[in-house]
Structure 1
């Protein structure tokens, strides 16, 4: 019998009790963005400390300038790896409350179709359910073997849903304590209900807001039209020049550091069977809009983008007003891949804009964050072992996927702690995270615990 087999049996026996523990955590209204819930955030942190202490971790609530962190340590066998597991205990606001079927902080288990039960409640998927999977896997290891297979540090954040303002200072101040061989990040999902996945890439992000100013006041378009600069026209002309007719970004140097995805990886993505119709159809679209000649998954996982997220200028109220606005603004975001440099992208965009501003007009820029992309080695030993462990647990082999979004903590771990991350989670696309009626499949909750137990065994074999 393998060392992990009795642990898996213990997880099965613990399922009902583990569900009750999750429900207890879900009842705590740890909404980080609303100061009215600061006490609840601290209650959630203390609940986790008490639970971790009960299974032998040295755990503590660590104060920050905002909501507290939870840090816990447990020794492992001599020479075993040291892993840092990250999750967050804070949750999104529940508005609009009237769209919830039940009280968002009164978790429940319901059968939504024959043989499929789901856990309803705010935080069930994002991220309390996910982080408790790992805690329950550790609990079962301790109950069976009296020890853990490796040295484990836990870091649970309380501000992920409000921008993580305290995280970077905390990582810098506690780098020596938190540094491990690699990090485990659970804030991700599965490819589908029966196919586990490992994210091997995360797109980076650059956010910019530009404001073009012309006349010193709004102008009558009959009196000044044709003679005075119109900042809306200037702005839209600039934005229209950002892409060419093939969908490529025209900003000089934009593609510096962009690499081609290996052909075998693209073939594995094609084998997943994602279609344009299946992806765009539910949102009422039917045609790809990005670079010509690229597949759907390549566009959302491995290619950079420039998108316009908001535009404002002139009169936008009801009715009509013949005015030439004094200024116009736009919010622009860039998703980055591979080795693109956020600072260089920002500088190149600003130069691109400045070169197109008339001499009697001006432009102002407002920075809205920036982070590099994360690209993990597809043949990493850690990924290879985790993939095999996941494939042993689920009905289908695990797949290596990418993420079109960003998880800044992964970059922070690399920057401040010098660690790469393994990104494994068991959320599903229909979990309604950040929305009313958030849920987490019971199957994800159960097999996710078993999966982490298998991964710990594989990483320490």
Structure 2
């Protein structure tokens, strides 16, 4: 059954939209650029303002110092309604923003927010941080505000963590989580720093790929050689490396490293059906970058390729003379940068060892290889069979009046992995950003509909999670 207060909460959010926008605009005016020490005071001011807003709602909110920018931690234990037996929740967002350079490409001042109307009629919030991540985190704050205003309580047990260093690599996040693990560990984390699948089509990201990288350097002679005097007789590292790289995939796009797929789980049929129902065209997706044909495993859909299948890609290759004109040499060495995106239960160190063994087994006489590792993190996969995940999906579907889906992400969102590995806490990644929000770029925006319906969606999610228990 629907929480009896929910209709009034949703009505309150609509009535309070202008005031909510002004609160967001106040936060957007802080130039909280975490990468630039000149803005340290502005980051601190943004954190203090957020803590004050949460305290005003009844949260026990504090600004917690770190060696860098502060964390904002708030607990709503006193706000949870009596008998709230749904999962305890930790909501995460970040209040720091990217630098605004180049400033001359902005149509208006980056920290003077305004409402713009796009050529297609959409109204958008224009400012640095509007989508990444201030507009997103404020949708949750506004949902909590409406619940407290109407009901006096929250339907669930809610804590909040706002970080101030996400845009500068989160150097203090892991130590902070470790030091405060008992306090911050809840049943579920809610992460807003993400987006919808498409306009009007919400989703919950439940799969994030991991990554392992290597720079492979193949060496042969002790110096570059004249190709006329040594050609054919001397091992050529470029030819050796090119042959090895070519052997990493078969003609169907399948990776040939032994054991590469051993820990890759097949996609559940219900999730495959959800993905097939999404408004996605591989031709349109690739057409935007001047391509037309999916180049991965040919027995998989394009969405499977980028969300649920592992990859082995070449990110750079070099060797020999690369300047203007021509120099006939056999180089002493050649190198390539290779990265593998990981899924399911793939172990990055196991994949690294298998890649190295695969390459070393193919080295001819007189050739050696040097390795320079880069990164190593496993995939993050949420157990979306839990009732709480389906409850959140139902709430999103109700607000957007379309079937929400459990979706994947080709990249990584490190905080979700940290929550899982350090706090043993699964994450629901639910956000309302769009691909055209221009995050990290001039003229960043956030759709007004994303802000309004995002807040309403969070209000519904809180009610639905409490209902499902």
TM-score, shorter chain, exceeding 0.5: yes
Structure 2: tracts of 5 or more residues without a match: none
- The one-character-per-residue Cα deviations of 1:93-113 (angstroms, maximum 9, x if unpaired) are 333333332232222210114
In 2, the alpha carbon distance for the partners of 1:312 and 1:43 equals 47
In 2, the alpha carbon distance for the partners of 1:37 and 1:201 equals 35
Q: How does 1:222-371 map to 2 (within 5 A)?
A: 222-371=228-377
Contact 2:125 / 2:448 at 8 angstroms: preserved in 1?
A: yes
Corresponding residue to 1:72 among 62, 65, 74: 74
Say yes or no: does 1:98 pair with 2:100.
no
Equivalent residue number for residue 206 of structure 1? 212
In 2, the alpha carbon distance for the partners of 1:236 and 1:44 equals 52
Contact 1:85 / 1:184 at 8 angstroms: preserved in 2?
A: yes
- The one-character-per-residue Cα deviations of 1:359-397 (angstroms, maximum 9, x if unpaired) are 534333223222221222343201111111111111312
In 1, the alpha carbon distance for the partners of 2:373 and 2:382 equals 28
In 1, the alpha carbon distance for the partners of 2:364 and 2:100 equals 46
In 2, the alpha carbon distance for the partners of 1:74 and 1:210 equals 51
Q: How does 1:419-458 map to 2 (within 5 A)?
A: 419-458=425-464
Q: Provide TM-score, normalisation by structure 2.
A: 0.93
Kindly tell me: are residues 164 and 214 of structure 1, through their superposed partners in 2, closer, same or farther at Cα, counting changes over 3 Å?
farther
In 1, the alpha carbon distance for the partners of 2:113 and 2:107 equals 11
In 1, the alpha carbon distance for the partners of 2:98 and 2:108 equals 16
Say how many residue pairs are matched: 461
- The one-character-per-residue Cα deviations of 1:170-223 (angstroms, maximum 9, x if unpaired) are 111110110111111112211222121111211122122223333333333334
In 1, the alpha carbon distance for the partners of 2:9 and 2:278 equals 32
Deviates more, 1:56-65 or 1:194-203: 56-65
In 2, the alpha carbon distance for the partners of 1:318 and 1:31 equals 41
Equivalent residue number for residue 33 of structure 1? 35
- The one-character-per-residue Cα deviations of 1:203-254 (angstroms, maximum 9, x if unpaired) are 1221222233333333333343333333332222222111111100011111
Q: Provide TM-score, normalisation by structure 1.
A: 0.94
Q: CA deviation at 1:19?
A: 1.2
Contact 2:84 / 2:157 at 8 angstroms: preserved in 1?
A: no
Equivalent residue number for residue 168 of structure 1? 174
- The one-character-per-residue Cα deviations of 1:390-415 (angstroms, maximum 9, x if unpaired) are 11111312122221111121111111
Corresponding residue to 1:385 among 384, 388, 391: 391
Contact 1:371 / 1:408 at 8 angstroms: preserved in 2?
A: no
Contact 1:110 / 1:120 at 8 angstroms: preserved in 2?
A: yes
Q: Secondary structure at the match of 2:190?
A: strand
Contact 1:195 / 1:395 at 8 angstroms: preserved in 2?
A: no
Structure 1: tracts of 5 or more residues without a match: none
Deviates more, 1:102-111 or 1:35-44: 35-44
Equivalent residue number for residue 414 of structure 2? 408
Say yes or no: does 1:179 pair with 2:185.
yes
In 2, the alpha carbon distance for the partners of 1:296 and 1:440 equals 28
Kindly tell me: are residues 62 and 237 of structure 1, through their superposed partners in 2, closer, same or farther at Cα, counting changes over 3 Å?
farther
Q: Secondary structure at the match of 1:211?
A: strand
In 2, the alpha carbon distance for the partners of 1:322 and 1:42 equals 59
Contact 2:218 / 2:334 at 8 angstroms: preserved in 1?
A: yes
In 2, the alpha carbon distance for the partners of 1:12 and 1:308 equals 49
Equivalent residue number for residue 119 of structure 1? 125
